[in-house]
Each structure stands twice: as C-alpha cells, then as structure tokens.
Chains A and B, each alone.
Chain A
Amino acid sequence: MDILTNSLALSRLQFAFTAIFHMLWPVLTTGMAIYLVIVEGLWLKTKNITFYHHARFWSKLYVLNFGIGVATGLPMAFQFGLNWAPFSEAVGDFFGTVLGFEGTMAFMLEASFLGIMLFGWERVPPLVHWLSTFLVAIGANLSTFWILSANSWLQTPSGGEFVNGKFVVQNYFAAIGSPFMVNSFLHMFFATLETSLFVIGGISAWCIFKERNREFFAQSLKIVLSLIIIVAPLQIFIGHLSAEQVYHYQPTKLAAMEAQWETIPAGNSPGWSVIALPNDRLEKNDWEIKVPGVLSYLLELKPRLENPVKGLKDWQSKDRPHMIGLVYYSFRVMIAIGVYFAALMAVSLFAWVRGKLTESKWLMRGWIFAAPLGYIAVEAGWIVRCVGRQPWLVYGQIRTADAASNLPPGEILFSLGGLALMYFIFFGVTLFFGSRIILKGPDQELQPPQFGKIRFIPDRRPAEII
C-alpha cells in the first residue's frame, strides 16, 4: 500500500485520527461543565438536596471523560512540531502564541480547579466550591475559544502577511479575530453544549424508559430541555452564518460541500442537492437528487443568486479539495442532526406543556437515539472544515504538502500504531465504565458536604466512589 511509505499521508492520517479521537472527550466535558455549574448553582440557591445529587452523579461521568481528554490532548500539543515542523516554523510567531495563551489561560485554570471541584467538597465552603466548578467551565470554554481562534486563522488568515513563506504578524488582534473566528467559536461553543445536553438527556430518557430513578432523571431531562429550547434553534442559525462565510471566503470548500462541479452564474435559481454520487475522476456527479430553487435562499436568502456559485472545475485539480463525497455527506449529516435536534426539542416542548413529557415511550426513544448524534455532528463538521480546506493548510497560503516534516514513514507508523491501539482500548473501557456508572445510578442517600465541622480531614476521594 502506498500510504504506508508516504510520510505526508501518514502524518495527515495521524493528525486526523488523533484529532477526531481527542475531540470525543472535551466535547462532552466542556459542555457538561456548564450543566454542572447550573445544577450546583440551583442547589446553592434552592437548598434542594436533589440538585446536589445531580452535581455528584453527573460529575462521575464528567471525570471519567476528563482524564482521557487530557491524555489524548497531549499528542495534539506536540504534533505540530513532531510532524509539521516547516509549518510550525513558518507560522509560529502567531500560531504558537495562541497555543501558549491556551495553555496559560485555559488549561491551567481548568486543571487547577478541577482538583477542588472533584475532591474539595468538604475542604472549601460551598460557594468556593461552586466558584471552582465555574472556573473549570470557564477554562474549558476558553480553550474552545483559543483553538477556534487558531483554526479560524488557518481558514481565513489575517493580521499580517507572508514574507518568503513566513508569516509576519502586523496586528495580533486582527489575527486572533480573523473573519471566521466569532461564528466558528460560537458554533463550537454551542456544539459542545448541545452534544452534552443531548448525552445527559439521552441517558436520562433511557433511565426513565427503564423505570430507574424516574423522578431524578425526569428532573435532569427538564433542565436539559429548558436549555435546548434556546440552544438548538440558535445553533442552526449560527451554522447558517458559518456556511454563508464559507461561501464568501472559501469558494473551493463551498463547491466541495455542495459537490458543485460547474459554476452557476448569477441570476439563476439553482436547486439544492440532497443526495449525490460525486465522481472525482470524471469531475461530475454520477447522479443526484435536487430540491429545486432552494440554494439561493440558503446562501443569500434571495430567490435568485446575486453572485455566482463557483464550481470545482474552475480550479485546477491541485488547487481544490478532493474526497468530495466525504465533505458533501459530512455536511449533510451535520445539517440533518441539527434539524433532528430542533425537531425533538419542539415535540418534547409540546409534550411538556401538556404535562406528558416523560410518558411517551416513543419520545424517550427519540432522546435515547439523540445521545450519540452530537458527537457525529461535531466530527462531521470538523471534517467539512478541515478536509474542505485542502489542499491548503493555511488557506491560499501554505499547502499541506509543503508543511509536513520529512520523517521516515516507520517513525510515524510507530506513533500512529501505538496511539491507535491505546485509543481503541480506551474507547471500549470508557463505554464499559460509563455504562456501569449509569446502571448504578445516583446515590440519593448522599448527605450534603460537611464543611466546617471537619476542619482538617486528610486527603481523600469522595466516599461514594471508593
């Protein structure tokens, strides 16, 4: 196989694999941290012990995911240098700065207060504990911000210019706030929140379905639903804004997302392709099904296109993305999931208003089905974003092919093989332990923490875990 001797392909494969796998964990912990802040806050405000039990129960799933998120993040932090040395050198002045900021502002904050959040229940006053949970959530979401700022710059480089292939920064704030940054950050912020909420909602629905701690989980489902009412529609709106920006700034990516080979001139009213079979060799779709007249509404909210939609054939093969089918279907999968989430929210809200939220078995099945979908949508979105950006690493400036280190393929196989083996094992183990935590259910006998009574107790993990 060619790929085994091609270090560029192997480096790309390793980055894609480690990034896709890493994403599975922080996407949950980042969003779930916000949920934990809310339930702990509700406990402090209402003094209702059930909210405390919620905080303790869900934080068990949280911490199970957190450790793997940290562990799988390590290769991400070093991979730019390990496999992409020419890239690191060319853009380090800006890109490295942002990663440095992420470490100092986000990771350290999250990591330091995590200890107090997990083990400090009886060591600090309740308000300080809540503040620690809050700072963990802030830390996690700040790292979303910095990662999306860095990635957005790869999509829409700004704030300086390339001199002899090296990026010279002229305005740091313009580089941090590149055109894609705001929408991309918001899209990812809501993606982590929405994914976590549907995971919590899905688990709650399963427990309701199986008649396990029905009241407890009905409560978490209601908290989730109250937030989803805002999040699900807003996410579709921000997604729409992001796609509009792609249309404006990255025409090659938009053409790949739509599997559009020929340019559509302005003034037309083209259809939106729903299913197609793109054929990269013949540079056309073998077949496709279109909804007539919709594309101009999607892109410009107008009945007729004001600007042309460029087709892939406008560029030479080396200047446009390939794997069109992957980009095209990833995009549609993400949209379908976003719409499903909004529809599920609407149906559930209707049932809730009628006081029958937890009674319909079918509705609960709909929520259980939704639990893994957020992850799929997030990964699909990142595939659109980064495969669609090809052949560029920095859009229009640095080609991926020129950015890779000249490593012996054996070295990359060694790291990729080792990481892949570990990651698959972790994935299985986490599902196993996670399902055990869910099956065991919340400990509703747990007494509230006794801060102040035991002043100098020794270190210990929460009694319930032991």
Chain B
Amino acid sequence: MEPLQPLQEFLPQVWFFILGLFLFFYVLLDGFDLGVGILSLTASNEERRSILMTSLGNVWDANETWLILMGGSLFGAFPLAYATILHALYIPAVIMVVGLILRAVSFEFRENAENKFIWNVTFGVGSFVAALGQGFALGSVFEGITVDEAGHFAGGIWDWLTWRTILVALTLIQGYVLIGSTYLILKTTGELQATHYKTATIATWTTLIGAVFITVSTPVLSEQAREHLFSQSLIYVFETIPLGGILLVYLLLRSLRNREEVTPIVWTFLLFSLSFVGLGLIIFPNIIPPSITIYQAAAAPSSLVFMLTFIGFLIPIVLAYNIYNYVVFRGKIVAEQLAE
C-alpha cells in the first residue's frame, strides 16, 4: 500500500469521530427513550404509563433523529460502509426499523384511543424490538462482517445471529433499561420514582454482568482485536477503561442507594461514554470489522471536506437547540397535572 497523504488520513479520522459522536448521542438519548419504552411494559397502571410516555412526548422525535443523522452522514462519508453494513444486517436493521415505527406511531394513537391497550403493547414491544435489532446489529459489527476483497458483503443471511450477538443484544437492552430508569428517577416523584430506583439497581448489575462477559470474550475470541488492543500505544488507555468502569459502577450504585435524583443519570451517561470510547478503540481504524478500514471506505477527500464545512458548523447549533428543548421542559412530571 502506498503511504497515505496526511489529509487523506486525517479526514476519515475526523468523520469516524463525528459519526461516533452522532451514534453516541443516539445511544444515550434514544437509549433512555427506548429504555422508558421497555419499562412501560412493567408499569402497573394506566396513569403510570401516561407519565412515562409524557416524559418522552417532547423529545422522542429529536432523539430518534440522531439515528437518521448518523445514517445519512455514514452514507456520505463512508458510502462503502453504509452499503455493506446495511446489506449484511438486513434482517436486524428491518427488525429495528419495524420496532421504531411501532413505538413512534403509538404516541399519538394512544393519545387518541379510548382502548389504550393496543398502543401500550405496540409502544412497549416496539421499544424492546428496536433495542433488540440494534443489539444484534452492534453485536454483528463487533463479531466482524464477511466481505470480499472489494469490501462487498459476502456472508450468509443468518450471520448476525450467534451466541455473542445475542449476548450483546441482551446487554444493550439492560443498558437501555438502566439509562431509562435513571431518566425516570430524574423526571418523576413518589412511588413511581421508588420503582425505578429498584429497576435501576437491578439493571446496573445485569448490564455489568453482560459487559464483563463481552469484555472477557472479545480479546479471547478475536485474534485481531487482541493484537490491536494490546499493542504498545493503546494498552495504557485500554487498561484504564475497566478501572474507570468499576469506579463509575460504584458511584452509580451508591447514588441509587442514597436516593439521589440527578447523579444516577450522570454516572450512567459517563459509564456509557467510557464503554463507547472502549468500543471505538476496538473498532478503529476499521469501519467494517474485521478488515475494511476507514481509509478504504471513505468518500473522496473533497466530499469529506464539503460535508465537514456544513455539518461541522451545524453540530454546535444542533446541540444548542436540543439542550434548549430539555431546558424548556425541565422539571418533574406529576400525575395531578396529567388529569387536568
């Protein structure tokens, strides 16, 4: 391979980072969104379900839009990755889309319906199915996608279904439940809040167990992942991740025990960030593991520059008005106001 020009190396790296950022916002924000949806399956009465859905009313659409941003930008920045990954993950992607569709329509349909049962089910099950599809997709990307030398998908239609992708999917669902629970701790009061201190505690442990299994099995199973992670430059970064993780889990459990309201979601966000950095380090510089790098899959440098000019300067603006939306709707959701 010829040595790459600095710009040809730098631009794909920048876009890898931006796409990671979009995916990160998606996982955090739609994560609590989907988590609340999954938790709604356990809600004991209609009033509680109303509060759960009200807590998402103004944000679910924007949260989901991060996925569209990620999809569109992946298409533009790494066309080959967009094409090959979606081709390979046809079934999990369709499962995810079907789930997201079901939950998206549930908001308005439930609002208008007298018999809310159907739309409670579509909301809860849709959220669960969407998370499941995402888990399978994420798991498959880490497992590696079989491609030919041109980078086109060359695997089978059931490649996405292995015991490891099932493990990743289940863990991701636990993670979403955790983040959803901490969001509900922030947004609710009384008995409902008490319930979600419990679900948050349980989900912390189940997420932890899943994460440990995934972490342990990753370097063991994948030769390439091991080589990459234990190379000189990365080993120090990678070593600090489990340590930081243990500290954050301790802080999270302590904040839940002390019935704190704001800190649980903060620690959970940080825990997710840490895992995200870890996963990013495992993948980099590949974009279609195990063999296609960001440099091979990238669009022409002029495309990357053009996109960077417009999308790059919009990112802070997009973040600003998203934050504004949360600020406008700050505060607790209380049942009495709902009944008004």
Contacts and interface: CB of A to CB of B under 8 A. Distances in A.
Given A100-B77, A119-B329, A466-B339, A78 B93 contact: yes
Given A74-B97, A85-B84, A459 B79 contact: no
A457 interface: yes
A169 interface: yes
Contacts of A109: 321
Q: Is the interface of A mostly helix, strand, loop or mixed?
A: helix
Contacts of A77: 68, 71-72
B295 interface: no
Interface residues of B, number: 73
Interface stretch (A369-377, A380-388, A415-423): A415-423
Interface stretch (B5-13, B103-111, B193-201, B238-246): B103-111
B303 A93 contact: yes
B57 A459 contact: yes
B247 to A, nearest CB: 33
A408 interface: yes
B76 interface: yes
Nearest to A123: B328
Contacts of B108: 63-64, 66-68, 433
B80 interface: yes
B49 to A, nearest CB: 13
Given A78-B93, A81-B83, A89-B80, A100 B69 contact: yes
A347 interface: no
Contact of B87 (A105, A123, A407): A407
A99 B329 contact: no
Interface string B25-49: 0000000000000000000000000
Nearest to A109: B321
B299 A460 contact: no
Nearest to A60: B112
Given A119-B58, A466-B340, A78 B76 contact: no
A411 interface: yes
Contacts of A91: 79
A422 B125 CA distance: 14
**Which 5 residue pairs spanning A and B have beta carbons closest together?**
A92-B79, A115-B58, A81-B86, A96-B75, A96-B76
Interface of A: 63-64, 66-68, 70-75, 77-78, 80-82, 85-86, 88-105, 107-109, 111-116, 118-120, 123-124, 168-169, 172, 405, 407-408, 411, 414-415, 418-419, 422, 426, 429, 433, 436-437, 456-461, 463, 465-466
Interface of B: 54-55, 57-59, 61-62, 64-65, 68-69, 71-80, 82-87, 90-91, 93-94, 97-98, 100-102, 104-105, 107-109, 111-113, 152-153, 157, 187, 299-300, 302-303, 306-307, 310-311, 314-315, 318, 321-322, 324-325, 328-329, 331-334, 337-340
